[in-house]
Amino acid sequence: MTSWRHDVSLYISTVSRLTLYSPLYSEKTLQSPTMTRTILNEWFPNTTYPFISNAPMQGTATSKLGSAVSKAGRSGFIGGAYNFLPESPEIPAFDAELTAVRNLLQLREDDVLPLGVGFLTLHPSVSGFLDVVGPVVKRQKPAAVWLFAPDGPLAHERIIPGLKELGSAWKLRVFVQVGNVAAAREAASQGADAIVAQGADAGGHAWAHGAGIVTLVPEIRQMVQTEFSDREIAVVAAGGIVDGRGIAAALALGADGVTMGTRFIVADEAMTPDDMKDTVIKTKDGASSTIKHTIHDDIQGTGFWPKAYDGRAIMGKAYEEYVAGTPLDELKARHQTLLSAKDNSRRIVWAGSAVGLVNSRKPAGEIIVSAGNEARQIIEGLSKGLKL
């Protein structure tokens, strides 16, 4: 088994430069020998414990958010692409975003980028993924690639080993987002380094038939330990986590780290429109104010998702009209009319069931520091209590 220590030399220059100007973490904090470390922290030496990442939300997690999360000593991700046709405008767009990250973090052209990029693999053009995405990944050197939503069991069979081969020089890590144990087993067997166990409380798109992280994370952890004991595979919890309490709980369930989506929707660096950020903040009781359904995509014209997936969003005006019996064609027309007028009042606001715990806008760095400190305090408090 290859030791993580073989990977560190490629990151040293990046980590040292990050600590020079980060107002949130000093070099001493980042490299403290007394700090707990997980396999994710060893793979990504610029990160501190607990390992926290933002979800690679398309259109929301751009270079500003991803670089801010990485500056704060965690693992930033940006949204990549889902259309892999050679002429797809999404390819030069995510390439430009990675270049923007390099500039924001003041890194050299040959430095490994201390963040990852996410891709949806549901488009029919996914067969050309490596041909189109591969050259950009090889040149930009992101630390990780995140894959989600394959339309069929074979979609990632070539992609995962292909990515690891082209990124072997800097030990590129591949994350695969799943919603059940069977999908986690498939991802692990195809070579995934990290399994993102997305629970049913997650906002945005997820497996339509799933479970919460309370059962999903420990069962995936158990499966990985028993069936893939010869490999180091990380488990990342996602869905319903917006603060230190959720992070501490996820770690107790067996996760090596967490990812948060809904909390970062309202980060200052997120590309979410201000009025939609306000909607997230004022929405409470996520159990009754959000719902998983395919109608959200039908209304906004993104109904191309495979049948295995649906999405959780805040129940807004359009959903209320749908329940009242308004025909879909009319709902779509109303949505498009206001969208064309740059009126967001009918837009779908993707958010998880923990939305009621999101109470304020903050810079991403402050969100990270607050959540990380709270998680550590909870873990230390529980540890002291258990020793009594």
- Cβ-contact 251, 379 below 8 angstroms: yes
The residue type found at 100 is A
The residue type found at 313 is A
- Cβ-contact 13, 2 below 8 angstroms: no
Residues forming beta bridges with residue 194, ordered by sequence position: 175, 234
Q: Which residues are catalytic?
A: 205
The continuous run of DSSP H or E covering 15 comes out as helix 12-21
- CA of 270: how far to CAs of 66, 117, 267, 324, in Å? 9, 15, 5, 33
| pLDDT at residue 354 greater than cutoff 90 | yes
Write down all domains in the chain, each with its CATH number in brackets.
Answer: 5-270 (3.20.20.70)
Confidence of residue 153 (pLDDT cuts 50, 70, 90): confident
Instruction: Give tens-digit pLDDT for 110-124.
Output: 999 999 999 999 999
> Mean pLDDT across the stretch 302-330?
96
> Mean pLDDT across the stretch 157-165?
97
Instruction: Give tens-digit pLDDT for 235-281.
Output: 999 999 999 999 999 999 999 999 999 999 999 999 999 999 999 99
Share of the chain above pLDDT 70, in %: 90
pTM: 0.90
User: Which tokens go with 267?
Assistant: 């980060």
Instruction: Give tens-digit pLDDT for 11-45.
Output: 444 444 444 333 333 333 333 334 478 999 999 99
| Residues whose CB is less than 8 angstroms from the CB of residue 28 and which lie 6 or more positions away in sequence, other chains included | none
pLDDT of residue 4: 34
Confidence of residue 382 (pLDDT cuts 50, 70, 90): confident
Instruction: Give tens-digit pLDDT for 212-230.
Output: 999 999 999 999 999 999 9
Question: What mean pLDDT, rounded, does the chain reach?
Answer: 91
Instruction: Give tens-digit pLDDT for 95-146.
Output: 999 999 999 999 999 999 999 999 999 999 999 999 999 999 999 999 999 9
Confidence of residue 386 (pLDDT cuts 50, 70, 90): low
